[in-house]
Structures are given as structure tokens and as C-alpha cells.
Amino acid sequence: MTTHAMGPLAGLSWLKRAINLGRHNARAVFGGAALLMVVALVPSVIQLVLQSLFKPDTNGSLVIAAALTLFSIVLLPPLVGGYLRLIHASESGQPARASDVLAPLRDRGDALRLIGFGLLMTAIYLVVALVVIKLFGEGLLEWYLQVLALSQQGQSPDPSALPALPEGFGRVLGLGTLLALFLSGVYAIGFGQIALTPRSIGGAIGDGLVGTLKNLLPMLVLAVVVFLASIVLGLVLGLVLGLLAVIGGLVHPALSVALVLPVYIALLVVLYVVMFGVMYYFWRDVCGETPPPVAGDHHVAV
């Protein structure tokens, strides 16, 4: 499988095209993202309910979190695969609808292939994280467990009671960020191969490794731009949401929620579209075949 090396500014092109995603079939693209978002939130909701009902100790909380994380790893890959196919169909001028996100769940073999890739990549993440912590983060796991135990007390802990950061925290954070960026590239390319081509799981991960190594510079440029843009966007949205909350609060607290919640949900849906759009265009430029152009005034029926 041939992978392509893109120019240093290619990441900006992926981001720009992801922002414009949905112009050919907005109902399918944004509806599919909303459906994926709702399903992705299900494990978190279950965790909150279980925590509220059983009020477990630290060990119990870890067991619940681990079980629901595994549930997410099994549940989400088929839906992400379905959403990437929805994007591909929309960009290729083919019929697409929001419910296509659920299509891989109807094919056991297809779903297992997507889940298998997700499980293997998760295992790789864990191995890399454990190696980094073992080599550079002595005491980090113990520090995390102490903080988690304090957080289970049902109230905000006194800052003075928090344990001091372990000595290697900065090294682990910096190295972990770089490795997370690299593995995100492997995941994006590999998942595109699994979802949109007949590539095997091992072959997809190999393509992801090679494709990411060839495109480290555009990935780094994209990461820096997204980081800076997120700061500006966060400040603007914070002001807007805060203003809406204040205006609503002058009338009734419920109005504050009614004004802020739809904006917040719409923002999450847009973030899902952009995030998976970048993932799709990254895969398409590095490994995929470019779909035929779609006329600007063409809309696919949903």
C-alpha cells in the first residue's frame, strides 16, 4: 500500500475542508455527528448513574470506569466507521443519511473488524503509556490514585491537601503529548483503511505508522494551529455563553439553561464534524483515492 507525504501546510487544508464539510449533504453529516455524539455520551451517563446509586470507594470507581471504558471501546469503533463512510459517500456525491452511522452494527463481521482495530490500538496506547510512566514517571500512578481518592470524598479537596506533583511529571506530560500526537495519526490513517478499504488490521496499522512518519510536519503544524485557535475560540465562547447565562438569569435560572444548552450542544456537534472531517481528509490525502468532485449546488436526499 502506497502512502503519500504531504507538504507542511497540508494540515491547514485538512482543517479548512473539515470546516466546510457538510455543504453537499448537511442533514446527513450533522445528523450523523449528533447521533454519534449521543451514543458516545451513553457510557458517561451510565457511569454517573452508577456512581450516584452505589457511591463506590476508589477501587469501585476504578472498576466502573474500566468496565465502561471497555464498553466504549467496543461500542464506538463501528459507529465511527459508519460515520467515516457517511462522510465519504457525501463527498463522493452518493446517497447518505444520518442513520448510516449505525450501518456497521448490522454486519457482524464488519463490526468485529472495526472493534478489533479499536482494541488493538487501545492496547498499543496502554503499552506506550506504561513504558513512558515506567521510564520517566516514577510515583505518577501513586500520585494519581491519591488524587482520585480525594476526589471521591464528595467535595472539592483543600488545595493544600493535594499531594505534590511527582518529579517526572513535566517529562511525562511533554513526551506523552508528542506520542499521543503520533499515535493519533496512526489511528486516523489506520481507521480510515479499516473503515473505507478492505485492508487487514495489521496492514492498516502498518499504513498508519508509515503514513504518520511521512507526515509528522503537517501534523505538528496542524496541532499548533488548533491549539492556538482553541484558546481564542474558548475565550469567545466563554464570553458568549456567559452573557447568555446572565441574560437568562435575569428572568429565571431555567431560561439560562434554555439559552446556553442548545448553543453548547450545537458546538459539540460542530466539533464532532470537524474532528472526524480532519481524520477523513488526512486519511484521504495520505492513503485514499480522491472521490469525484461534487457540484456546489448538488444536495443528496436524506
User: How is the chain classified by DSSP, letter by letter?
Assistant: ----PPPTTHHHHHHHHHHTTTSS-HHHHHHHHHHHHHHHHHHHHHHHHHHHHH---HHHHHHHHHHHHHHHHHHHHHHHHHHHHHHHHHHTT----GGGGGGGGG-HHHHHHHHHHHHHHHHHHHHHHHHHHHHH-TTHHHHHHHHHHHHTTSSPPPGGGSPPPPTTHHHHHHHHHHHHHHHHHHHHHHHHHHHHS---HHHHHHHHHHHHHHTHHHHHHHHHHHHHHHHHHHHHHHHHHHHHHHHHHHH-HHHHHHHHHHHHHHHHHHHHHHHHHHHHHHHHHHTSPPPPP--TT-----
Residue 181, judged by CB atoms within 10 A of its CB (0-12, 13-18, 19+), counts as middle
Query: What is the number of alpha carbons within 13 Å of residue 191 lying toward its C-beta?
Result: 29
pLDDT value, residue 297: 36
Count of CB atoms situated within 10 Å of the CB of 132: 17
Give the integer Cα–Cα distance in Å for 64 and 45. 12
Give the integer Cα–Cα distance in Å for 291 and 92. 5
Give the integer Cα–Cα distance in Å for 9 and 57. 49
**Are 226 and 15 a contacting pair, CB within 8 Å?**
yes
Q: Where are the domains of the chain?
A: 10-286
Q: What distance, in Å, lies between the first and last C-alpha atoms of the chain?
A: 34
Residue-wise pLDDT for 273-285, tens only, equals 999 999 999 999 9
Give the integer Cα–Cα distance in Å for 60 and 243. 40
- For 229, residues 6+ apart whose C-beta sits below 8 A from its C-beta are none
pLDDT value, residue 57: 75
pLDDT value, residue 154: 54
Give the integer Cα–Cα distance in Å for 189 and 286. 8
Task: Dig out the grid coordinates for 32 from the structure.
Answer: 450523523
Give the integer Cα–Cα distance in Å for 148 and 166. 15
Please give the C-alpha separations between residue 40 and each of 36, 49, 51, in angstroms, as whole numbers.
6, 16, 18
The residue ranges of the chain whose pLDDT is under 50 are: 291-302
